[in-house]
Amino acid sequence: MASTVEWGEAPTQERTTRFREFGLMWQAFRRDPLALVSLLVIVLFVLGAVFAPWLAPYPEQGEGAPNITEKFEPPSREHLLGTDYLGRDVLSRILYGGRSSLSIGFLVVIVATVIGVPMGAIAGYYGGWIDDILMRVTDIFLAFPPLLLAIAIAAALGPSFTNAMIAIAITWWPWYTRLVRAQTVSVRERYFVEAARSIGVSDANIIVRHVFPNIFTPVLVQSTMDIGSAILTGAVIAFIGLGVQPPTADWGKMVSTGRIYFIERPWYAGAAGAAIFLVTLAFNLLGDAVRDVADPRTRRSVS
């Protein structure tokens, strides 16, 4: 047994848990007012969408029931954002619309991550012909302008929420594959991966236990920013009629139908457009903040 060497001075940082990194990130995050506001906006919209049936002043109208007698009413005390061309309360429509618009954003990113991340990790870890094939396939998908591809697929599959989501997700996953591949290549070079290999840990275990946790942060940053873009893309798809079908509410669809009446009765398209704008902006700003906060250098330098 070796004589125990003096431990010397204790390490300067206190003993911390696995989530110390998140703790530090959250601290830095808290100091950024823009980030907090964005987070608040997103939370409000999400809560509004989730609890729409309880929050909407006219839930049946939100779901689609027409109210012809009150059509095209400007904002008033009974209808805070006015009514649409079928007399439905716009505020309720916005809340219900959030359900499809926001969920497309989240679902697309989730699907893209689920497909793209493992592909990228395998391509990056193994290299060689596996890498070549996977990346060439990825390149093919990347070569198409994303929006056009999404429109084409949605048109081919037929208009519906699910098809719209599938179409957008198909154009989205390649970016994750690329990102994850680059990250995996750099993690693979680090000695602890070689140490694991020299011990005989299986490739699958190495990828899951070592690679994934270490590439988590860039993927998180990318997906946060992407949710906003996915919502926007979903709105465009809905705008041209390939997303949800009436009477289901959707912000993109609302902008589309309200477009014609916009000059004289701006509250309908305007409210929907404002919702899209705010949510997308909020996610973009949030993504920026997450990225700033995730970079250890900017996080730790100033007291």
Partner 1 sequence: MNDMLLSVEDLHVRFRTYAGLVHAVNGMTFNVRQGEIFGLVGESGCGKSVTGFAVVRMVPFPGEIARGRIEFQGEDLAQKSEAEMKDIRGRRIAMIFQDPSASLNPVFSIGNQVTRVIRQHVSASRYEARQLALKMFDAVGLPDPERAFRAYPHELSGGMQQRVMIAMALSSGAELLIADEPSTALDVTIQAQILALLTRLRETQGVSILLITHDLGVVAETCDRVGVAYAGNIVEMGRVEDVLYQMKHPYTQGLLAALPRPTHRGQPLQSIKGSVPDGLRLPAGCPFHPRCPEVMDICQLEKPALVLVGPKDHVAACHLYGEGETA
Partner 2 sequence: MNAISLVKTCGLTKIFTSRRGLLSRQQRQVRALDGVDLTIYRQETLGVVGESGCGKTTLGRAIMRLIHPTSGQILFEGQDIAPLNRSDFRRYRRDMQMVFQNPYSSFDPRFSMLNSMAEPLRTHTDLRGEALVKRARELLEQTGMPGEILYRYPHEFSGGQLQRIAVARALALNPKFIVLDEPTSALDVSVQAQIINLLQQLQRELKLTYLFITHDLSVVQHISDRIAVMYLGKIVELSITEAIFSDAQHPYTRALLASAPSLDPEFRRERIILKGGVPDPAAPPPGCSFHPRCPEAMEICSQAEPTFVDVGGGHMVACHLVSQT
Dihedral pair phi/psi, residue 152, rounded to 5°? -60, -45
Q: Are 61 and 93 in contact (CB under 8 A)?
A: yes
Cα 243 to Cα 227: distance, rounded to the nearest angstrom: 17
Choice from 1, 2, 8, 200 touching partner 1 (CB under 8 A): 8
What DSSP character marks residue 244?
A: S
Residue 300 contact among partner 2, partner 1, none, beta carbon within 5 to 8 Å by kind? partner 1
HSE toward the beta carbon, residue 65, CA cutoff 13 A: 5
Which tokens belong to 100?
Answer: 């499809």
* Binding segment (CB under 8 A) for partner 1, from list 93-101, 124-132, 198-206, 294-302: 294-302
- Is residue 4 involved in binding partner 1 (CB under 8 A)? no
Q: Which two tokens stand for residue 115?
A: 């497909």
Residue 132 contact, options partner 1, partner 2, none, Cβ 5-8 Å cut-off depending on partner type: partner 2
Which of 3, 4, 13, 69 binds partner 1 (CB under 8 A)? It is 13
* Residue from 237, 249, 255 nearest 158 by CA: 237
Q: Which of 12, 14, 21 is nearest to 294 (CA)?
A: 21
Among 2, 5, 143, 199, binds partner 1 (CB under 8 A): 5
Task: By CB under 8 A, tell whether 302 contacts partner 1.
Answer: yes
d(CA 264, CA 277): 21
Q: Which is nearer to partner 2, 2 or 143 (CB)?
A: 2
Q: Report the alpha-carbon distance of residue 57 to residue 94 in Å, rounded.
A: 11
Q: Counting contacts by CB under 8 A, is residue 12 touching partner 1?
A: yes
Pick from 2, 3, 9, 69: which binds partner 1 (CB under 8 A)? Answer: 9
Nearer of residues 78 and 194 to partner 2, judged by Cβ: 194
The partner in contact with residue 2, picked from partner 2, partner 1, none with C-beta cut-offs of 5 to 8 angstroms by kind, is partner 2
Site string for partner 2, 207-246 (x = CB under 8 A): --xx--xx--------------------------------
Indicate the SS3 state at residue 8: coil
Does position 300 interact with partner 1 (CB under 8 A)? The reply is yes
Residues 148 to 207: which contact partner 2 by CB under 8 A? 190-192, 194-201
Please report the DSSP string for 23-92 in residue order: HHHHHHHHT-HHHHHHHHHHHHHHHHHHTHHHH-SSHHHHHT---GGGTTPPS-SSSTT-B-TT--BHHH
> Minimum CB separation from partner 2 for residue 184, in Å?
14
Vertex 286 angle, CA 298 and 56, to 5°: 160
Nearer to partner 2, 1 or 302 (CB): 1
Q: Are 230 and 203 in contact (CB under 8 A)?
A: no
Q: How far is the CB of 295 from partner 1 (least distance, A)?
A: 13
Binding site for partner 2 (CB under 8 A): 1-5, 7, 11, 13, 15-16, 18, 20, 132, 190-192, 194-201, 209-210, 213-214
Binding site for partner 1 (CB under 8 A): 5-6, 8-9, 12-13, 299-303
